[in-house]
Copies of this chain bind each other. A is one copy, B any other.
Amino acid sequence: MAASLTLAVSTVIFALRPHPETAHPALWLPLVRRIRSPHKGLWALPGGPLGPAEDLAASAARNLRETTHLAPRYLEQLYAFGRPDRSDDRTVSIVYWALVHADEASAGLETENVRWFLADALPPLAFDHSLIVEYALWRLRNKMEYSRIAAAFLGETFTLSELREVHEVVLERDLDPANFRRQVESTGLVVPTDEFRTGGRHRPARLYRHDHSIELADNGPLSGR
């Protein structure tokens, strides 16, 4: 049995980067071009075989680093895909999803076979990767509503407007600034600092930071895994 089955780990990596037209933040993800059959030439999720003594999450983080030269700010297992017809060679893929903070350096690291795409304008993907991305987007949006994973897209400190914008971009809808502020403040998961963001042509906004003692998302008994 073992000899006829391949176990791979793939990762759906999300980052916020400016939209090329509007310059507003948008959701992007990196894909790699397949350089061999099957589906040669098509874009696919970064991933590869699991190392002999490698943890699943470590394998996802390694692929993420090799593809984007970034470290994951949030990493969570998505699902295991194993339908016999999903590839020619009976591959079971354990898929993770990750949030990264895409800085300017990493943005220039695209190559012939690694390219970032707008999440809402993806090319046709190899295998069942289109379904996988769709599911990852669903999970991301779900989790954005009841956890603090938005923090993974931001720096150490941020204004409430910046935090709200992350939510708005991911959820694809506008949020009321007043209500958003109250909701975030009432959780106590965000801590005001003494500093302000100046520079806009308007009143400076107070900077906040996240309470690091609390995890970005509650994954129950698996939180430490």
Contacts and interface: CB of A to CB of B under 8 A. Distances in A.
A3 interface: yes
Q: Give the number of copies in the complex.
A: 2
6 contacts: A1-B7, A2-B3, A5-B52, A50-B92, A134-B221, A139-B220
Given A6-B2, A50-B92, A90-B52, A131 B221 contact: yes
Interface stretch (A27-35, A80-88, A159-167, A169-177): A80-88
A54 interface: yes
Give the one of A5, A6, A82 with max B CB within 10 A. A82
Interface string A123-138: 0000000010011001
Interface string A211-223: 0000000001110
B77 A94 contact: no
A55 interface: yes
B50 A135 contact: no
A79 interface: yes
Interface of A: 1-7, 49-56, 77, 79-80, 82-84, 90, 92, 94, 131, 134-135, 138-139, 142, 220-222, 225
A139 B220 CA distance: 8
Contacts of A3: 2-3
Give the one of A52, A79, A80, A134 with max B CB within 10 A. A80
A151 to B, nearest CB: 22
Nearest to A55: B83
A207 B175 CA distance: 43
A11 to B, nearest CB: 14
Contacts of A221: 131, 134-135, 138
B135 A220 contact: yes
Give the one of A3, A51, A220 with max B CB within 10 A. A220
Top 4 nearest A-B pairs (CB, nearest first) are: A56-B82, A138-B220, A134-B221, A80-B80
